[in-house]
Amino acid sequence: MRSRTSRLAWAALVVAALASYGFEAYAEEKAEATAPVAEAEPADTVDADALALLNSFGDALKAQPRFSFAVELGYEVVQKDGQKLEFGAFRRYTVRRPDHLRIDEERREGGARELYFDGDQLTVWIPGDKAYGLAKLKKRRDLDSMLDLMRDALDLPVPLGDLLRVDPLPRIEQDMVSAYVVGREKLMGVECDHVAWRTDEVNAEAWFTVGDHPLLQRLIINYEQLDGQPRFWAQFTNWSISPDVADSVFVFAPPADAERVRLSVRGRTVQPTEEQEP
């Protein structure tokens, strides 16, 4: 049985494994012989309509001072013998710009985990272990700089973190070598525009709701440069631009029997003291 401290460290490693790309489908259906096939676009062509759809979503999202969404996701882990095993989780994200974030997660294996950020401190709580890690910041940070700090200093990158930034899409556009609109489809009864794009590292697809304020409904990423070309998928639900965002939503109040454990900062394992803050 893992210790509480080792479980918290293990959870951080799982998150890191999920989030090497900023973004994170439903069960794959067997194609019918008569199913329509999208016409292939010329190689290395970035279609203006595809860019317009991506930017429309990005502009709509960054215009919201607060929003929330839920996501069911799965990711493949390639085994030594080449077999791919899928793992996954359900997450709920709540954002209040410029400097508040909460993530509630239920993993298929490993149970629940919660993340709280209020501009001044970051807390990761694992209810099953009654253990939490706390990082008090020397200076107040906005959400963008905190996402960078979590990735670079705490080895705790946030899955789907690019969606939470002030500008959600610049990294995709910078690395994009081709993109096109596949067509219009219905996902779970919702009409969506289907967009595909490629970078030097991944092939990706996304489905956005049709309308003036498109929302992301599904995302698939195939990591072409990794051994075994593992696949990541995410199905989005319950988008809201007016969630409950009181201060208390983003602050963790530890139970009386909770144990505070160590965090690793830039490779150093530190005691949870005021003098050793990030």
Q: Is the peptide bond before 98 cis (omega within 30 degrees of 0)?
A: yes
pLDDT number for residue 263: 73
Torsion angles phi and psi, residue 9, rounded to 5: -65, -40
Please give the Cα distance from 239 to 95 (Å, whole number): 12
- Report which residue type is found at 125: W
Q: Of 30, 7, 164, 175, whose CA–CA distance to 98 is shortest?
A: 164
69: left (phi over 0), alpha (psi -120 to 50) or beta: beta
Judge whether 31 and 39 are in contact, CB under 8 Å: no
Please give the Cα distance from 21 to 171 (Å, whole number): 10
**Helix, strand or coil for residue 53?**
helix
Please give the Cα distance from 193 to 204 (Å, whole number): 14
Write out the chain's pLDDT in tens, 278 residues.
444 444 443 333 333 333 333 333 223 332 333 344 455 545 579 999 999 999 999 999 989 999 999 999 999 999 999 999 999 999 999 999 999 999 999 999 889 999 999 999 999 999 999 999 999 898 999 999 999 999 888 888 888 999 999 988 887 777 899 999 999 999 999 999 999 999 999 999 999 999 988 999 999 999 999 999 999 999 999 999 888 789 999 999 999 999 999 876 654 443 333 333 45
Number of H-type helices and E-type strands within the chain: 4, 14
pLDDT number for residue 215: 95
Angle at CA of residue 82, ends 78 and 88, nearest 5° = 25
Place of tokens 């002030």: 166
Q: Quick one: tokens of 223?
A: 């990591």
Q: Of 166, 192, 158, whose CA–CA distance to 71 is shortest?
A: 158
pLDDT number for residue 234: 97
pLDDT number for residue 43: 56
HSE (CB half, 13 Å, CA atoms) of 5? 9
Judge whether 265 and 153 are in contact, CB under 8 Å: yes
pTM, whole model, 2 decimals? 0.79
- Domains defined along the chain, listed by start: 4-24+43-276 (2.50.20.10)
Place of tokens 């696949």: 231
Which H, E and C letters describe 161-199, residue by residue? Answer: HHHHCCCCCHHHHHHEEEEEEEEEEEECCEEEEEEEEEE
| Positive or negative: CA dihedral 48, 51, 57, 63 | negative
Judge whether 121 and 135 are in contact, CB under 8 Å: yes
Paired sense of beta strands 131-136 and 259-260, if any: parallel
